[in-house]
Structure 1
Amino acid sequence: MSEMWTTAVAGAAAGLGVAMPLGAMGVLLIQEGMRDRRNAIAAAAAVAVVDLAYAAVATALGPLVASALSGVEAWVRLVSAAVLMVIALRGLWASRSAGAEAGSADDPVAPPGRDAGGPARTFARFAALTLVNPTTALYFAALTTAQGAALRGGAAGTVFVAGVFAASLVWQQLLVAASGFTGARIGARARAWTFRIGFGLVAVYAVKVALPLP
């Protein structure tokens, strides 16, 4: 049971690592919350569902890759850790910009128009915007390949993915709830700190999966 709790916490931390950096998608959620709360809830759910899908695919394939490379597990972990660290450092560098609007794990695209439609259309639009970002897929692929054996059991993989989904969904819904207080825009300083915290989690993960060194 304690191992499952550890796996769940690891999944939640991974979900926060990919969700917390606040760029275009986060700003879009806040703007959507100011316009229509129902649509914003659907949009937040869409982002979390895409995070879940990427995590599920990576969790299914990661242990297979690790098994195929049996005998060089330490080097697989080191390469995966290097990929995660590059993602983290790139995000942290982006946070130095006063007006950081992009470069987060969930938002490589520019904001769409203001015509949102109903909740179903909003869900589809936000899901499509999140799906086009390859960094999210790369993030989960590196993380789950490095963890390999730990996620090899079906139950462990399911718990990990559930943790990712829960953390991502809670964070996105918090942005929607906060939209009524923060307005349609969020200050550059606050956005930079969400970058630092989110990508800081990714950097911690990178160090964790790299140790012990080969």
Structure 2
Amino acid sequence: MSELMTPALAGAVAGLGVAMPMGAMSVLLLQEALRHRRTAMAAAAGIAVVDLGYAALATALGPWVASHVSPVEAWVRLASAAILLAIAARGLSASARPVPSAPPPPPAPPALEAGGPGRSPDSSAAPGTGTRTRPAARAFARYVGLTALNPTTALYFAALTTAQGATLGSGPAGAAFLLGVGAASLLWQQTLVVLGSLAGTRISDTARVWTFRLGYGLVAAYALKIAFPLPSLA
């Protein structure tokens, strides 16, 4: 069991590294949480599923790539580390600029008497009799599609898993890594849902900038970890 803790923790760090920086998807998720918590939870699961899917694809291909480039394995690790450092540098550079605040949420309709024509947004209503709750399945599919369009996530996991092909070559180690990725990503996205439902989008720009710095700091630290030992020039 102890030998699986290392890939599981590595996966958790990798999952947080890709999930923590609060970009456009995080802002959308916060707005979703302000409107309806249940659909936001489904949306958060959709984001985590895409992170897990990209990680699974990269984990399946990474060991194969690593096995075919074993003579230059150290150089592959160095190239992967360079890609991760470039992603981290780009993210940290963006964090130095002001993060645009999310627009204010639409005002909620005034509460009326129970059973009246204007029921609260969180209450369910029969079809055609009032407001309709947004289906969680539609929110899940929407956020899966939006997250899958981000090529940085795929590049991130491809570089990371190719560099660790040997350590993730066994089935249990790869599964532990994926478990860590999925759990960390889902936990972070659901944390955003809770924050969004409690505070809406009123999260300070400073707090959002620090999520960028922490997330991309993890990416940079991971890059340095896989870069060493450096390839020999002899």
Question: Does the TM-score normalized on the shorter chain lie above 0.5?
Answer: yes
Residue 207 of structure 2 corresponds to: 190
Match of 2:198 among 162, 171, 181: 181
* Residues in 1 aligned to 2:223 and 2:99: alpha-carbon distance in whole angstroms: 27
Residue 41 of structure 1 corresponds to: 41
Which moves more between the two structures, 132-141 or 187-196? 187-196
Q: CA deviation at 1:183?
A: 1.7
Residue 147 of structure 1 corresponds to: 164
Task: Tell whether the 8 Å contact from 1:16 to 1:167 is kept in structure 2 after alignment.
Answer: yes
| Count of residues in Structure 1 that have an aligned counterpart in Structure 2 | 201
Residue 74 of structure 1 corresponds to: 74
* Residues in 1 aligned to 2:213 and 2:147: alpha-carbon distance in whole angstroms: 21
Residue 79 to residue 174, structure 1, CA distance change in 2 (3 Å):
same
Task: Tell whether the 8 Å contact from 1:39 to 1:122 is kept in structure 2 after alignment.
Answer: yes
Letter in 1 for 2:164: Q
Residue 9 of structure 1 corresponds to: 9
* Residues in 2 aligned to 1:61 and 1:44: alpha-carbon distance in whole angstroms: 26
* Residues in 2 aligned to 1:208 and 1:74: alpha-carbon distance in whole angstroms: 12
Q: CA deviation at 1:21?
A: 0.2
Task: Tell whether the 8 Å contact from 1:81 to 1:142 is kept in structure 2 after alignment.
Answer: yes
Q: CA deviation at 1:180?
A: 2.6
* Residues in 2 aligned to 1:158 and 1:66: alpha-carbon distance in whole angstroms: 18
Residue 76 to residue 116, structure 1, CA distance change in 2 (3 Å):
farther
Q: Secondary structure at the match of 1:151?
A: coil
* Residues in 1 aligned to 2:172 and 2:214: alpha-carbon distance in whole angstroms: 29
Q: Secondary structure at the match of 2:71?
A: coil
Paired-residue identity, %: 64
* Residues in 1 aligned to 2:29 and 2:203: alpha-carbon distance in whole angstroms: 11
Unaligned runs of 5+ in 1: 102-114
Q: Given the two structures, how large is their TM-score scaled by the length of structure 2?
A: 0.83
Task: Tell whether the 8 Å contact from 1:31 to 1:185 is kept in structure 2 after alignment.
Answer: no
Q: CA deviation at 1:116?
A: 8.7
